[in-house]
Amino acid sequence: MPHPDAVRWNRRYQQEGLQRINRPPNPLLRKFQPLLIGGGLALDTACGLATNGRFLAGLGWRVIGLDISLVALELSCQAAHAQQLPFSAAVMDLSDPWLPDNHFDLLMNFRFLERKALPTYRSALKPGGLLFFETFLQSRATPTSHPEFYLQPGELQAAFATFEVLSSGTRTTGGHRLDWLVARKPTAG
């Protein structure tokens, strides 16, 4: 039996995917583009249509995209192939991920929160690896029907407290508050 989230997201991407495939990348990637020089192996978690992953691949990164939606990943791979970008993908339920330790030079997670994945993210980055993380922040105006999808204030920074914070903050877009963090995994310790 298919995962209910996979069914929901597959349906959404079947309906909207082609209209959304060429959206611009997350503003954090553009803002911190100087950090992205040099390339390496990047992981784009909960990538959806992999707008961010394909942006990195265009900068010379080898990118692996993970998502629960096979439809989204197929559309992403088709777009990457058409642009001859080094992008590959795998279907994964990030509620119980396994990733190799000290493997990725960069890990990004945008607009998705699965708290059980955070320790895996910390260990999957190589020492010196970069983290780009941005997701929804709980506020008084935030609906409370699914609090598990929203960060508490300070939660993101606490989850990566051992990392060197390069920049962090909050922003509002589309009526949502987002908390973000750009950090580097320590090279020692």
pLDDT of residue 40: 97
β-pair partners for 62: 41
Question: Digits of tens for pLDDT over the chain (189 positions)?
Answer: 678 888 898 899 888 877 888 899 999 999 999 999 989 999 999 999 999 999 999 999 999 999 999 999 999 999 999 999 999 999 999 998 899 999 999 999 999 989 999 999 999 999 999 999 999 888 766 555 677 777 788 889 999 999 999 999 888 877 778 889 999 999 975
d(CA 50, CA 32): 18
Query: What's the confidence (pLDDT) of residue 34?
Result: 95
Long-range contacts of 115-118 (CB under 8 A, 24+ apart): 115/148, 115/159, 117/45, 118/159, 118/160
Tell me what pLDDT residue 17 has: 73
- Domains of the chain plus CATH, in order, are 4-16+24-184 (3.40.50.150)
Tell me, rounded to whole angstroms, the distance of Cα 73 from its chain centroid. 14
Numbers of helices and strands, H then E, in the chain? 6, 7
Q: What was the pLDDT predicted at 175? A: 76
DSSP 59-124: TT-EEEEEES-HHHHHHHHHHHHHTT--EEEEE--TTS----TT-EEEEEEES---GGGHHHHHHH
- pTM score over 0.85: yes
pLDDT of residue 142: 57
| pLDDT for 144 | 58
What pLDDT does 141 receive?
Answer: 63
Q: Which two tokens stand for residue 159?
A: 């989850």
CA distance 51 to 65: 10
